[in-house]
Amino acid sequence: MTRLVTLLVALLALALPSLAGKPELKALAAPDDLKSLYRTNEKYTLHLEYKDPDGFTVKSAKFHDKSKDGEPSFDAKQLSGNTENGLNLTWEINGFAKGDHAGYFEVENEKGMVTRYPSGANEYYSFAVESLVDKWVVMGIGLLICLFMLPFLVYLIARSTNKQGNPSSAARIGLIIGIFAALALFIFQFLSWYSPLVLVLGGIAALFLLVVVLTRR
């Protein structure tokens, strides 16, 4: 009888860890800082929560990043809480390289068990990093096209289809189309970068140009 009880206790001790569940690594609901778009030359802080039902301590916590510029790894800088109830992990990134990225987070506990986020072996945290300088260069080129080349093209088409028409009216129509195209490009380029106030100011500038074009004789 004693041997049977001892055997049952041993089996129960072996079964308890599996019943407790596996360690889990997940993104926090707040702050939601795992973005899909980042900016160059800016610092970012990333947070994840790690739970281990067995309460084993964390041996290492890394963020592995991969882009065309290399595959750097970042160690977690801050750990707060406990693994059984939820350990908050913090990564401080001084800046990402421009381009597309595919990364993942990896936590290893004192027993050598590795937990990954995203959990799948072939899953990655994908995001893009954009440069404000590049966007303004594109915007500058776009303005030249929208306010000069596009109106001139519209003017040529209007004159070729209606040679008896008013040349100034054809030029005015071309400028109006170019202004709307420039405004659309501005919103597309900077919608995720600037506050709505800046976009409104861009709209006001476009409206001012429209008034000038329409009132000009």
Q: How far apart are the first and last CA of the chain?
A: 109
Residues carrying CATH 2.60.40.650, the chain: 20-130
pLDDT score recorded for residue 5: 47
Q: Are 142 and 182 in contact (CB under 8 A)?
A: yes
Helix orientation angle between 167-190 and 150-161, rounded to the nearest 10 degrees:
150
Residues 22-81: pLDDT tens digits? 888 888 766 667 888 899 989 999 999 999 988 888 899 999 999 998 999 999 987 888
Residues 161-208: pLDDT tens digits? 877 767 777 778 888 888 899 999 999 988 888 888 888 888 888 888
pLDDT score recorded for residue 20: 54
Residues 102-140: pLDDT tens digits? 999 999 999 889 999 998 888 999 999 999 999 999 999
Q: Is the pTM of this model over 0.85?
A: no
Helix orientation angle between 132-144 and 167-190, rounded to the nearest 10 degrees:
170
pLDDT score recorded for residue 34: 87
pLDDT score recorded for residue 144: 93
Q: Are 79 and 58 in contact (CB under 8 A)?
A: yes
ω into residue 31 within 30 of 0, thus cis? Answer: yes
Calculate the CA 97 to chain-centre distance: 13
pLDDT score recorded for residue 173: 83
What would the 3-class secondary structure string for 141-159 be?
Answer: HHHHHHHHHHHHHHHHHHH
DSSP string, 4-50: HHHHHHHHHHHHHHHHH---EEEE-SSS----SEEETT--EEEEEEE
Q: CATH number of the domain at 20-130, please?
A: 2.60.40.650
Maximal CA-CA distance, the chain: 112
Give, in order, the Cα–Cα distances in Å from 41 to each of 73, 83, 148, 186. 18, 33, 33, 22
